[in-house]
Amino acid sequence: MGSTIGQTRNHIEKAEQCLKKSQTKIEERRKYFEEHMEKLTKEKENVKQQNTARHNTGIGVTVGGAVLAAVPIIGWIP
């Protein structure tokens, strides 16, 4: 019986060690995940701002081009 209790105790100790290792790995991976999610969120915001800026620049160029195209036509009308 003594060896059975000793074996059981050893199994419990090994299981506790494995649990601690698993918890450590989970924490490391959670931290890694959170850091990368934050990075991706920032990148997404940057892309969104760039797209908005490009869109607004495109509108300005289009409006400016229409005005420039209209001025010579109006200028030619006597």
40's tokens:
């991706």
The count of residues in the chain is 78
Residue 8 has pLDDT above 90, yes or no: yes
User: What's the pLDDT score for residue 26?
Assistant: 97
- CB contact burial 15-47 (16+ within 10 A = b; e otherwise): eeeeeeeeeeeeeeeeeeeeeeeeeeeeeeeee
pLDDT per residue as tens digits for the range 51-76: 888 777 765 555 555 555 554 555 55
pTM of the predicted structure, to 2 decimals:
0.54
What is residue 20's three-state secondary structure? helix
User: What's the pLDDT score for residue 3?
Assistant: 79
pLDDT per residue as tens digits for the range 9-56: 999 999 999 999 999 999 999 999 999 999 999 999 999 988 888 777
